[in-house]
């Protein structure tokens, strides 16, 4: 009788309104970040236009526009929606290392998919499609990469796309929260190159957060993966280039070997871990509201459609600019 009540037409419309409100909230956040960035760029251009060619300035500007200033807006909007506290559970070192290996594996899988699609689109449109974040990382100061991209970014993103989102949608079940977190996080990156690995990582980080009830675990996983991509990789590339010029030292050999060993070990453990991933069980997490058509309900509503259309427009813009 209870399920019949939850699944009747009236409540289903109410559920669609709920997810539409979520979509509108994140759309307001995305538009706020865009408007802030446009205003900041125009002010900077009017005062000293040469700074707009400085990648260090762009990195700082991006962090302020995407995270710091819009944070109160999204926090205020999401706090108006009732939230639940997830049951806490600690991870032992073995499980954490397994999750870290899966994180790296999903990132590489997503990178390969993204690279394949961007290469295909490049051939179709006869243009080179670059990863804007990769360009930013390679051009900005390594300390900024460490502070903003490797540490600050993951902390804000885990609050935005896991903590604030999942605490409010978990009543619809873990899988609904995971799908929604993955979709919004993937689109948030605003380009094809990053969408696929962000989608996979967003879903997995959502799983880890729901599984443990502790956002600190996903923050640490996120920081490590960003650290490897934005800081450690720079040292590895520099060391690898010495082999081409035949100027390498023993330190260069050690750096490259350690990096390759970490990659291969993580990939092996991650693939095995994914292959043995049984049906997810979430401690103390029970679905309170069952949806008859979950995908339709959470994604095909006005707010979420507008949000996705905004991100698609952003992705298309990035492809041709």
pTM of the model: 0.90
Is 284 a residue whose pLDDT tops 60?
Answer: no
Q: Who has greater pLDDT, 309 or 238?
A: 309
For the record, the structure tokens of 308 come out as: 């996705």
Is 319 a residue whose pLDDT tops 80?
Answer: no
Could you give the C-alpha distances from 248 to 156, 170, 235, 241, 255, in angstroms and in order?
A: 39, 52, 13, 8, 11
For the record, the structure tokens of 5 come out as: 């009540």
Is 279 a residue whose pLDDT tops 70?
Answer: no
**Alpha-carbon torsion 196, 197, 200, 203, what sign?**
negative
The per-residue pLDDT for range 42-92, each reduced to its tens digit, is: 998 888 878 878 888 888 999 999 999 999 999 999 999 999 989 999 999
Residue 102 near residue 205, CB atoms below 8 Å: no
Any idea which of 73-87, 112-126, 197-211 has the lowest mean pLDDT?
112-126
CA distance 26 to 122: 30
């Amino acid at each position: 009788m209870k399920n019949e009540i939850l699944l009747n037409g009236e409540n289903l419309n109410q559920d669609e309104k709920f997810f539409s409100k979520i979509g509108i909230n994140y759309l307001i956040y995305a538009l706020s970040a865009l408007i802030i960035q446009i205003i900041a760029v125009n002010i900077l251009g009017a005062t000293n236009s040469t700074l707009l060619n400085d990648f260090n300035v762009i990195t700082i500007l991006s962090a302020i526009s995407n995270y710091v200033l819009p944070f109160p807006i999204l926090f205020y909007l999401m706090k108006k929606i009732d939230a639940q506290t997830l049951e806490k559970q600690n991870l032992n070192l073995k499980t954490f290392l397994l999750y870290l290996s899966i994180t790296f594996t999903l990132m590489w899988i997503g990178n390969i998919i993204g690279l394949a699609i961007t290469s295909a689109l490049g051939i179709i449109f006869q243009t080179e499609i670059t990863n804007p974040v990769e360009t930013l990382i390679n051009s900005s100061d390594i300390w900024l990469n460490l502070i903003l991209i490797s540490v600050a970014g993951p902390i804000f993103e885990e609050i935005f796309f896991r903590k604030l989102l999942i605490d409010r949608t978990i009543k619809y079940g873990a899988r609904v929260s995971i799908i929604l977190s993955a979709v919004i996080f993937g689109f948030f990156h605003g380009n094809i190159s990053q969408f696929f690995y962000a989608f996979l990582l967003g879903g997995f980080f959502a799983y880890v957060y729901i599984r443990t009830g502790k956002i600190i675990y996903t923050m640490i996983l996120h920081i490590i993966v960003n650290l490897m991509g934005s800081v450690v990789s720079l040292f590895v590339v520099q060391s690898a280039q010495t082999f081409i010029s035949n100027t390498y030292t023993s330190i260069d050999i050690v750096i490259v070997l350690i990096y390759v060993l970490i990659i291969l070990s993580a990939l092996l453990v991650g693939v095995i871990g994914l292959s043995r991933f049984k049906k997810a069980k979430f401690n103390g997490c029970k679905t309170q509201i069952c949806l008859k058509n979950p995908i339709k309900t959470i994604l095909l509503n006005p707010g979420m459609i507008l949000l996705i259309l905004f991100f698609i427009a952003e992705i298309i813009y990035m492809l041709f600019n």
